[in-house]
Amino acid sequence: MCLAVPGRIISFEEEQGGSKMAKADFAGVVKTVCIDWVPDVKIGDYVLVHVGFALNKIDEKEAEETLRAFLEVEEGFREASRMAEERRERSEGLEK
């Protein structure tokens, strides 16, 4: 299983080692990605990126839905962590 993250192409970069590169914005985090596999990508397009490689283009709606799902998962992890910390604190209080 792999995880591909949606990002919006914001600029093109000089080729590196023969590969076409671009800057992609991942909800505020900007990274350089290889765009060799999506040669028709344009600035403003959304792409799915895995380990620095743009795998395919997606539409804006799909990108937003995916990012929203990631945020929901993150919230779930934060809530689970908070609950585990509360249980730990309660059990430490009982031991005293």
For residue 87, give the CATH number of its domain: 2.30.30.140
Cβ(38)–Cβ(59) below 8 Å? no
For residue 61, what are the domain limits? 5-95
User: Would you tell me how many other CB atoms lie within 10 Å of the CB of residue 61?
Assistant: 9
pLDDT in tens, 13-63: 988 888 999 999 998 999 999 999 998 999 999 999 999 999 999 999 999
How many domains is the chain partitioned into structurally? Answer: 1
The whole-model pTM stands at 0.75
Q: DSSP string spanning 31-79? A: EEEE-TT-TT--TT-EEEEETTEEEEEE-HHHHHHHHHHHHHHHHHHHH
**Can you give the pLDDT at residue 57?**
96
